[in-house]
Amino acid sequence: MSGDGTAGGAPGPGPGESGPYPLHGGTAAPAAETIGYRGPTACAAAGITYRQLDYWARTGLVEPSVRPAYGSGTQRLYSFRDVVVLKIVKRFLDTGVALQNIRAAVQHLRERGFRDLERMTLMSDGATVYECSSPDEVVNLLQGGQGVFGIAVGVVWRDVEAALSQLHGERVDTGETLVGHNPSDELARRRNRAV
């Protein structure tokens, strides 16, 4: 939300739209919508506990957009953008923003469709979260004279992308495990070859 409560910025494709997982063997990366991340992977990439992830999903703060849990035995699958939002929520909580204000900000981002997430800066004075999609909006907010902090979403985006490239994803259509670039994970590579 901008300082006046309106949305700013133009929608467009983001750097993660091709997905953070290049497939081994030089083939093209699958589209981001075909990759999901299980709870433990989402937690590792976002820097949160599984308890936080579960609570946020159950209360509707950040729900998995690829596949929700349908009772016992099913695994939630989070999209790349879901993981970015999880990390943003974590950063806001770490700086003392009230969960109620974070919920309002996440709802605003959902309404926008998360399309231009990587281009925005989210600012907060501790009570309100503002969306700034241009340097002028950031300057205008800072000129208000109050203490604010900001989260450059593009930086969070790249952090999550780097973290997920070391972890496992799952192809939504086939269930195939996509192995990150972690050279120590020989077991997952063998499991994929056996399938």
Say if residue 101's pLDDT is above 70.
yes
How much is the pLDDT for 189?
A: 53
SS3 assignment for the chain: CCCCCCCCCCCCCCCCCCCCCCCCCCCCCCCHHHEEEEHHHHHHHHCCCHHHHHHHHHCCCCCCCCECCCCCCCCCEECHHHHHHHHHHHHHHHCCCCHHHHHHHHHHHHHHCCCCHHHCEEEECCCCEEEECCHHHHHHHHCCCCCCEEEEHHHHHHHHHHHHHCCCEEECCCCCEECCCCCCCHHHHHHHHHC
Query: Percentage of the chain with pLDDT > 90?
Result: 28
More confident residue, 56 or 11: 56
**Between 78 and 127, residue with greater pLDDT:** 78
pLDDT for 118 beyond 80: no
Q: What does the pLDDT read at residue 105?
A: 85
More confident residue, 145 or 103: 103
pLDDT-derived band at 33 (thresholds 50, 70, 90) equals low
Please say if the pLDDT value at position 125 is more than 60: yes
